[in-house]
């Protein structure tokens, strides 16, 4: 399998008046062609920041301060404005959490499609672009007449489908989905995940699925990355992460989700609170909350240990 | 578009009670104002019997309710009575002056919107830069400058010192008055008459007054546009558009500006009264023969019917503009139509 995206030692900082938020710190991550990679972690651990960095969409004062992001071998971090713009929406698509606010309320759906298509394919005329949008809607199970509607005339689930249609209209090979179902209700969410699964095959997509809902990733992801405090705690095949999580944080995360079985011994809640990213704890960022903390954890960052495709940053696996 | 038509019709129907209320307020205010119009008109020393006779003539001794109904009926017939000072219908006096004011206000508004919106959008896009700070400073300073002072400075600078622009009136002496008999809107009249020499002359006379008016009000729009653009530029759909590769400039000046335009439009409707007030002051500074001049002149002469007429026309203008603004609003924002 070919590697489509290779993130190496990426750091993203937000300089603010009380210091610098190290939202992403020394992250390494590889996405293989055609896989769905789930990216999970608590709120504020840097998932969105990582996702936004890939398209260089960080809002000020956010800045990539180190590392590289190789997309098909080309470093996105060092691209000029023109090069990065030609990737956005065209080769790499991104969809967001809230479909209600992600579509411009003042433009009809067809206008938003046509604008996107013509931005990247100057050779086309409006009619051809419109026809393409019609085909896309059919493919998404939406009646093409709805192209002439405004976003406020559609339901949340439908708007999220439109968002993904806008994302895929130019046949990108990488999709970054930042909590795409968080604002949808359970039934619509399940439908949307099914759709995503279909589209993934149809378009031969590689997906980075950001979420804090482990159920979502269980359904779709081939591999899972667990982030904690701006760093990567663990990466592994989905079954391995669910069956035998290695990192104490992942273990805590899994035992904190309720399951349907009534004989579940007890629901764990993780003690402590997420780390302060302005003054992160020295050594392992997780050590103040970890129940296995050793001396070395307090002052030295853990190295990466690899075991058959499973990768973990924790001194327990030295 | 059926929804839009329905919206427009509803909105027009709603204007009727609004106008009715405005007219009633004008009626009440003018009658509780201190000073007796009749005795002041007759010079203040007229004998009681003469005053009484004049009051009888003008119908001021009738019950107030009858006067009110009569007042409304007159307005419905587009008749605003006769001046107390000159032998002249009030409607005629107003029709002579109104085009001058509308022309000035329209040009002032164009300048205000153009400067205010572009500067505001640019500042928001480049927020916290030197350009942004400069534009914000401009927005505050220009708003604090009194209209007549700015007018005077522009007159001194461009009219006297540089001597390149006229400082008073609507035309120069060499332009024939007969050109302007069609509509009273000089720009329009000269174009209709294909008299481009006169058109140039008219436009050049418009420069200083409309810039004075436009500049003063542009401050509000700079600040308003900047604030709204900042909000919009943070919105999810802007980031989403950027994620689709749409060029930054297009996002700022096409997408975001359209979204930010909605609150600006509302403000425009609300500012129309301020614009009118500004126009009155500007007209005085530039000897502009419009409604503002008429108003001031007749205040000195205590010509109550004419004053009442001028105020009614101003009220109708405000109502009309707010109607137009709401209609544009509905055209721009599809959500309003439902
Ligand atoms: N504009 C900003 N200014 C300052 N700090 C920021 C900014 N944006 C994000 N951060 C910080 O960066 C860190 C990572 O934020 P991020 O949004 O990536 O988290 P997340 O994992 O996506 O969380 P969530 O699950 O809530 O979406 C947070 O601690 C946040 O406070
Ligand atoms: S490195 Fe130490 S503190 Fe960190 S997770 Fe492993 S055991 Fe816990
Ligand atoms: Mg997030």
Q: Say which CATH number the domain at A276 has.
A: 3.40.50.300
- Is B202 a member of any domain? yes
The percent helix, strand, coil of chain A (3-state, each to 5) is 35, 25, 35
Q: Which atom of ligand 2 is nearest to the CA of A291?
A: 8
Sequential DSSP letters for A222-278: SEEEEEETTEEEEEEEHHHHHHS--SHHHHHHHHTS--S-TT--------S-PPPSS
Tell whether B334 lies on the interface with A, counting CB pairs under 8 A. Answer: yes
Q: Which residues contact A223 (CB under 8 A, 6 or more apart)?
A: A35, A36, A37, A38, A235, A236, A237, A238
pLDDT of residue A265: 58
Cα distance between the two ends of chain A: 29
- Is A207 a member of any domain? yes
Q: Which domain holds residue B319?
A: 99-337
Q: Which atom of ligand 2 is nearest to the CA of A284?
A: 4
Q: Which ligand is nearest to the CA of A305?
A: 2
pLDDT of residue B303: 84
In chain B, which residues have their Cβ closer than 8 Å to the Cβ of A93?
Answer: 243-244
Output phi, psi for B331, to 5 deg. Answer: -70, -40
Q: Which atom of ligand 2 is nearest to the CA of A315?
A: 1
- Is A161 a member of any domain? no
ipTM of the complex: 0.90
Mutation to probe ligand 1, out of A18, A25, A46 (largest number of atoms < 8 A from CB): A46
In chain B, which residues have their Cβ closer than 8 Å to the Cβ of A94?
Answer: 240, 243
Provide the whole-model pTM: 0.84
Mutation to probe ligand 1, out of A40, A48, A278 (largest number of atoms < 8 A from CB): A48
- Is A134 a member of any domain? no
Cα of B65 to ligand 2 centre, how many Å? 89
**Chain A interface mutation, best of B237, B328, B335, highest count of A Cβ atoms under 10 Å:** B237
pLDDT of residue A168: 95
Work out the pLDDT band at A260, boundaries 50, 70, 90: low
- Is A142 a member of any domain? no
Q: Which residues contact B249 (CB under 8 A, 6 or more apart)?
A: none
Q: Which atom of ligand 1 is nearest to the CA of A42?
A: 25
Nearest CA to ligand 2 atom 1: A314
CB atoms closer than 10 angstroms to residue B92: 12
**Chain B interface mutation, best of A89, A104, A129, highest count of B Cβ atoms under 10 Å:** A104
User: What pLDDT digit, counting tens, does each position of B33-92 carry?
Assistant: 766 777 766 766 777 788 788 777 777 778 888 889 988 998 888 888 888 778 889 999
DSSP state of A316: G
The alpha-carbon gap from B277 to the nearest alpha carbon of chain A, in Å, equals 34
- Is B150 a member of any domain? yes
Cα of A253 to ligand 2 centre, how many Å? 14
In chain A, which residues have their Cβ closer than 8 Å to the Cβ of B228?
Answer: none
pLDDT of residue B48: 79
The alpha-carbon gap from B325 to the nearest alpha carbon of chain A, in Å, equals 17
Cα of A97 to ligand 3 centre, how many Å? 8
In chain B, which residues have their Cβ closer than 8 Å to the Cβ of A87?
Answer: 245
Sign of the alpha-carbon dihedral angle for A231, A233, A237, A242: negative
How many Cα atoms occupy the beta-carbon half-sphere of A55 within 13 Å? 31
Cα of B300 to ligand 1 centre, how many Å? 66
Cis peptide bond N-terminal to B36, omega within 30: no
Cβ separation B245–A85 shorter than 8 A: yes
Per-residue pLDDT for A266 more than 70?
A: no
Average pLDDT over residues A213-226: 89
How many Cα atoms occupy the beta-carbon half-sphere of B91 within 13 Å? 8
How many Cα atoms occupy the beta-carbon half-sphere of B277 within 13 Å? 9
Cβ separation B259–A104 shorter than 8 A: yes
CATH number at residue B251: 1.10.3720.10
Average pLDDT over residues A61-86: 96
In chain B, which residues have their Cβ closer than 8 Å to the Cβ of A152?
Answer: 334-335, 338
The alpha-carbon gap from B264 to the nearest alpha carbon of chain A, in Å, equals 15
CA distance A267 to B19: 67
The alpha-carbon gap from B244 to the nearest alpha carbon of chain A, in Å, equals 4
Q: Which residues contact A234 (CB under 8 A, 6 or more apart)?
A: A225, A226, A241, A245, A246, A247, A249, A250, A310, A311, A312, A313, A314
pLDDT of residue A228: 96
pLDDT of residue B168: 86
pLDDT of residue A231: 96
Q: Which domain holds residue A290?
A: 3-91+172-317
Output phi, psi for A307, to 5 deg. Answer: -135, 125
- Where do the DSSP E strands lie in B81-225? none
User: What pLDDT digit, counting tens, does each position of B161-194 carry?
Assistant: 998 889 888 887 766 666 666 788 888 888 888 8
Instruction: Please work out whether the CB of residue A52 comes within 6 Å of at least one atom of ligand 2.
Output: no
Output phi, psi for A291, to 5 deg. Answer: -90, 0
- Is A124 a member of any domain? no
- Is B225 a member of any domain? yes
User: What pLDDT digit, counting tens, does each position of A130-152 carry?
Assistant: 999 999 999 999 999 999 999 99
Work out the pLDDT band at B239, boundaries 50, 70, 90: very high
- Is B277 a member of any domain? yes
Mutation to probe ligand 1, out of A12, A19, A21 (largest number of atoms < 8 A from CB): A21
% of chain B at pLDDT higher than 90: 40
The percent helix, strand, coil of chain B (3-state, each to 5) is 80, 0, 20
**Chain B interface mutation, best of A52, A92, A102, A162, highest count of B Cβ atoms under 10 Å:** A102
A-B contacts (CB, under 8 Å): 71
User: What pLDDT digit, counting tens, does each position of A1-51 carry?
Assistant: 699 999 999 999 999 999 999 999 999 999 999 999 999 999 999 999 999
Sign of the alpha-carbon dihedral angle for A100, A106, A107, A108: positive
pLDDT of residue A66: 95
- Is B55 a member of any domain? no
Instruction: Please work out whether the CB of residue A246 comes within 6 Å of at least one atom of ligand 2.
Output: no
- Torsion angle defined by CA atoms of residues B3, B6, B10 and B11, in that order, rounded to the nearest 10 degrees: 60
Q: How many domains does chain A have?
A: 1
Average pLDDT over residues B285-294: 91
**Chain A interface mutation, best of B245, B264, B330, B335, highest count of A Cβ atoms under 10 Å:** B245
Distances (CA, A) of A10 to A24, A55, A229, A276: 7, 13, 14, 19
Q: How many domains does chain B have?
A: 1
pLDDT of residue A99: 85
The answer to whether B55 and B304 have CB atoms below 8 angstroms apart is no
Q: Name which residue leads in pLDDT, A231 or B196.
A: A231
pLDDT of residue A36: 96
CA gyration radius for chain A?
20
pLDDT of residue B190: 85
pLDDT of residue B176: 64
């Amino acid at each position: 399998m070919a590697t489509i995206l290779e993130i190496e030692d990426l750091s993203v900082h937000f300089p603010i008046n009380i210091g610098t938020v190290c939202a992403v710190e020394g992250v390494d991550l590889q996405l293989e062609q055609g896989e769905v990679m789930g990216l999970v972690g608590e709120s504020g651990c840097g998932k969105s920041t990582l996702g936004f960095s890939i398209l260089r969409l960080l809002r000020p004062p956010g800045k990539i301060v180190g590392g590289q992001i190789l997309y098909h071998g080309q470093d996105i971090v060092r691209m000029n404005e023109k090069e990065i713009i030609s990737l956005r929406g065209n080769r790499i698509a991104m969809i967001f959490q809230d479909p209600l606010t992600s579509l411009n309320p003042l433009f009809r759906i067809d206008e938003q499609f046509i604008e996107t298509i013509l931005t990247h394919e100057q050779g086309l005329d409006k009619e051809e672009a419109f026809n393409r949008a019609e085909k896309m809607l059919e493919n998404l199970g939406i009646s093409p007449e709805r192209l002439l509607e405004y976003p406020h005339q559609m339901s949340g689930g439908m708007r999220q489908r439109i968002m993904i249609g806008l994302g895929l209209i130019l046949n990108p090979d990488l999709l970054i989905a930042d909590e795409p179902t968080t604002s949808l209700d359970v039934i619509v969410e399940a439908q949307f995940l099914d759709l995503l699964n279909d589209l993934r095959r149809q378009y031969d997509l590689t997906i980075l699925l950001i979420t804090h809902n482990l159920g979502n990733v269980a359904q779709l992801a081939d591999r899972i990355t667990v982030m904690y405090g701006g760093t990567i705690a663990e990466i592994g095949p989905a079954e391995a992460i669910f069956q035998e999580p290695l990192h104490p944080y992942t273990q805590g995360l899994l035992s904190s989700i309720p399951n349907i079985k009534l004989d579940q011994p007890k629901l764990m809640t993780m003690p402590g609170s997420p780390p302060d990213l302005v003054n992160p704890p020295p050594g392992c960022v997780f050590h103040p909350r970890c129940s296995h903390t050793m001396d070395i954890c307090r002052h030295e960052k853990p190295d990466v240990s690899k075991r058959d495709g499973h990768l973990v940053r924790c001194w327990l696996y030295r | 578009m059926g929804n839009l038509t329905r919206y427009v019709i509803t909105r027009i129907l709603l204007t009727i009670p609004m106008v009715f209320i405005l007219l009633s307020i004008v009626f009440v205010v003018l009658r509780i104002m201190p000073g007796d119009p009749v005795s002041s008109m007759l010079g203040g020393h007229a004998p009681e019997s003469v005053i009484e006779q004049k009051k009888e003539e003008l119908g001021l001794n009738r019950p107030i309710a009858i006067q009110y109904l009569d007042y409304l009926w007159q307005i419905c017939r587009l008749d605003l009575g006769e001046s107390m000072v000159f032998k002249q219908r009030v409607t005629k006096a107003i029709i002579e002056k109104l085009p001058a004011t509308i022309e000035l206000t329209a040009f002032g508004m164009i300048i205000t919107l153009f400067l205010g919106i572009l500067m505001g959008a640019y500042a928001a896009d480049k927020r916290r830069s030197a350009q942004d700070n400069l534009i914000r400073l401009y927005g505050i300073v220009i708003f604090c400058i009194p209209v007549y002072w700015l007018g005077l400075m522009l007159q001194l600078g461009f009219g006297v010192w540089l001597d390149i622009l006229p400082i008073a009136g609507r035309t120069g002496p060499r332009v024939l008055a007969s050109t302007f008999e069609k509509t009273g809107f000089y720009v329009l009249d000269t174009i209709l008459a294909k008299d481009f020499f006169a058109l140039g002359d008219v436009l050049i006379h418009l420069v200083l007054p409309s810039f004075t008016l436009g500049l003063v009000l542009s401050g509000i729009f700079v600040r308003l546009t900047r604030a709204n653009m900042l909000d919009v530029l943070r919105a999810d759909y802007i980031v989403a558009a950027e994620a689709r590769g749409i060029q930054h400039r297009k996002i700022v000046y096409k997408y975001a500006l359209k979204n930010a335009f909605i609150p600006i439009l509302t403000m425009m409707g609300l500012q129309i009264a301020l614009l009118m007030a500004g126009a009155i002051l500007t007209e005085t500074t530039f000897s502009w023969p419009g409604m503002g001049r008429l108003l001031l002149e007749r205040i000195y002469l205590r010509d109550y019917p004419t004053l009442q007429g001028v105020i009614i026309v101003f009220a109708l203008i405000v109502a009309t503009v707010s109607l137009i603004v709401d209609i544009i609003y509905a055209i721009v924002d599809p959500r309003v139509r439902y």
